[in-house]
Amino acid sequence: MPSTLTLKQRTFIWGKRTYIMGILNLTPDSFSGDGLYADSADEKPTQEQLTTILRKAQQFVAVGADILDVGGESTRPGAEAVSLDEELRRVIPVIRRLASELDVPISIDTYKAAVAEEALKAGASMVNDVWGFKADAELAGVVARHGVPVILMHNRSSWANAEVRERLGGRYVGVPYDNLIEDIRRELLESVAIAHAAGVPDEHILLDPGIGFGKTVEQNLELLDRLAEIRDLGYPVLCGPSRKSFIGYTLNLPPDQRLEGTAAAVALCIARGADIVRVHDVEFMARVARMADAITRRSVTSIQ
């Protein structure tokens, strides 16, 4: 497995500690209720909205975010698709503002090649593709041409398996797998093969097993517990359990009451080998990660 990755003059040393990716949802319909503005399809974010987003990003960095993940389209079960033009209007002004005022790496959360192209030009440093190069055939080429890292996520999301409950939100039911972990491993390696074919080197590839994407509650729980088998593929692993429905349906809690469940999931992701955790509650989960690292990696020393 590649041992390091350099992003915006920051070096990520895999295995030394867990890195924190803070989520900036630029949507009005985020499943977690943290969408940062409710825009119209005809308008860019206002200066007031940009300032609010910048302040939240600054706060994330101050309390432990190593990467900021900017996304303009909700991926929750049942979410409406966002047009290319609307996604660009949502994310590009924000990325340009953040990149000009912060030295932390910015990730663009998109599966559209055109959005990734413009986001990287605006100052993003990496791409987070929830469809693992399988939704837009041009995206792998964009990543290779810009020489940036990419997070390739496993995803079997389908409307046919989506169920939405008012209090707990969306989840997937009856999703067929022949062998859960082996199927996920095989399909992630398919994404890796697409990356290699486009010229993306191994040191620029990270894998995300896709907790919450096309998996039932029980499948998500098993996947998290067996995360080490994903890391055995030989690539750094990002894990994103934050506020997800498998927590809500396990604890019978809505998204705004899933802090403790997320903390437990994050700690176990780290114990199973995650290199990055993608979270909404950066301050709290950075503390969880620091404690989990102290136990599992002996990477943090106590105050004497």
How many helices (H) and strands (E) are present in the chain, helices listed first? 10, 12
What is the chain's length? Answer: 304
Nearest to 86 by CA among 131, 4, 136, 29: 29
Those residues with Cβ within 8 angstroms of residue 193's Cβ, 6 or more apart along the chain or in another chain: none
CA gap 254, 263 in Å, rounded: 15
Q: What is the dihedral of CA 221, 190, 200, 133, to 10 degrees?
A: -70
Q: Which ranges of 76-173 would DSSP assign to H, the alpha helix?
A: 84-101, 113-122, 139-146
| Separation between Cα atoms, residue 206 and residue 244, nearest integer Å | 21
**Which DSSP letter does residue 237 get?**
B
- Give the H/E segment covering residue 153: strand 150-153
Instruction: State yes or no: is 156 an active-site residue.
Output: no
pLDDT digits (tens, 9 = 90+) for 139-179: 999 999 999 999 999 999 887 787 888 888 888 898 899 99
Q: What is the pTM of this model?
A: 0.93
pLDDT tens digits for range 16-62: 999 999 999 998 754 444 445 545 444 678 888 899 999 999 999 99
Phi, psi of 60 (to 5 degrees): -55, -45
Note if 8 is an active site residue.
Answer: no
Domain residue spans in the chain?
16-296
State the catalytic residue, choosing from 90, 112, 231, 244: 244
With bands split at pLDDT 50, 70 and 90, how would you rate the model's confidence at 300?
low
CATH class in words for 16-296: alpha beta
pLDDT tens digits along 217-270: 999 999 999 999 999 999 999 999 999 999 999 999 999 999 999 999 999 999
**SS3 at position 49:** helix
- Are the beta carbons of 73 and 63 closer than 8 angstroms? no
Q: What is the pLDDT of residue 31?
A: 46
Q: Residue 43 has what pLDDT?
A: 65
Catalytic residue among 278, 290, 297, 298: 278
Instruction: Give the Cα separation of 292 and 290 in Å (integer).
Output: 6
